[in-house]
Amino acid sequence: MIRVDILDSSPIFTRGLEQILTAEGIRVMGTRTSPAQEWAWFVDVLIVDLDALDESRAVGYVAEMAKVHEVVILADDVRATDTAALIRAGASGVLSKRGSPAALVDSIRAVAAGATVTCQPVPDEDAEERAPDQTRNCLSAREEQVLRQISRGLTHGQVARRLGISPHTVDTYVKRIRSKLGVGNKAELTRAAVLRGMTSPAAAGSPDDRAG
């Protein structure tokens, strides 16, 4: 069972989040409204509302907490530059509070398993491009898996076989991805995957196993 502790400035939001996580089998070990309050130590993931932190000290606080725990940041408005700084400080996830409960739960599970999850790409220092509409909902861990395979040129049937799901389920995931990212055709999906750092331009559209 995944164990979490929550720091959020809104008791109402915290209660709702606690109910969502508990219903999904994730154990909430404690809740906090201030970073000055002590965390529960025996947890897998710390969930931190960015608004609950002093802006000038947020990165330092995340760096300190990330030494002993996986840290997931929740924010109303996550800009790519903020995401990059927080990930470099040690955060394992930077997610939008506007995302769906299912996407949040999937992301927390992914982080607990060792993955890094963000709402938009972490840009290089000199990168000029940004992912389209960075305020859109995050992709779930499974949606990211599907997008990664699609961007490499696999058909829906090949993606289904590789991930052990049905082609119909792949179709459903692709529809969700297009809606969340505001993209249409396969070329736009591939570009979104490249901008999100999920594949390289060289690998895009070039699967290692087109056959089958």
Q: What angle do CA 84, 88, 93 make, to 5 degrees?
A: 70
Do 94 and 32 lie in one domain? The reply is yes
pLDDT tens string 127-182: 444 443 333 446 777 888 898 899 888 999 999 999 888 999 899 889 888 877 77
pLDDT tens string 62-98: 999 998 889 999 988 766 457 878 888 999 888 888 7
In a domain, 136, yes or no: no
How is 104-123 classified by DSSP, letter by letter?
HHHHHHHHHTT--EESS---
pLDDT tens string 194-211: 776 677 666 666 555 443
In a domain, 106, yes or no: yes
Do 19 and 102 lie in one domain? The reply is yes
Q: pTM here?
A: 0.61
Do 113 and 147 lie in one domain? The reply is no
Do 16 and 110 lie in one domain? The reply is yes
Q: Is the pLDDT of residue 41 over 70?
A: yes
Task: Report which of residues 27 and 100 the model is more confident about.
Answer: 27
Do 63 and 7 lie in one domain? The reply is yes
pLDDT tens string 111-123: 888 877 876 544 4
> 178: domain CATH number?
1.10.10.10
In a domain, 135, yes or no: no
In a domain, 61, yes or no: yes
How is 51-100 classified by DSSP, letter by letter?
GGS-GGGHHHHHHHHTTTSEEEEEESS--HHHHHHHHHHT-SEEEETTS-
In a domain, 205, yes or no: no
Residue 65: domain span: 3-118
Query: Please, what sign has the CA dihedral across residues 205, 209, 211, 212?
Result: negative
> 13: domain CATH number?
3.40.50.2300
Check residue 184 and give its pLDDT. 79
Do 184 and 99 lie in one domain? The reply is no
Do 107 and 151 lie in one domain? The reply is no
Do 112 and 14 lie in one domain? The reply is yes
Do 34 and 84 lie in one domain? The reply is yes
In a domain, 132, yes or no: no
Do 13 and 113 lie in one domain? The reply is yes
Q: What is the DSSP letter of 140?
A: P
Report d(CA 88, CA 23) in Å as an integer: 32
Nearest to 144, CA basis, from 99, 210, 87:
99
In a domain, 206, yes or no: no
Check residue 73 and give its pLDDT. 93
**Confidence grade of residue 102 (pLDDT, cut at 50, 70, 90):** confident
Nearest to 7, CA basis, from 64, 97, 74:
74
For the purposes of burial, counting CB atoms within 10 Å of the CB of 169, is it exposed (0-12), middle (13-18) or buried (19 or more)? Answer: middle
In a domain, 70, yes or no: yes
User: How many domains in the chain?
Assistant: 2
Q: Give me the mean pLDDT over the 38-61 stretch.
A: 90
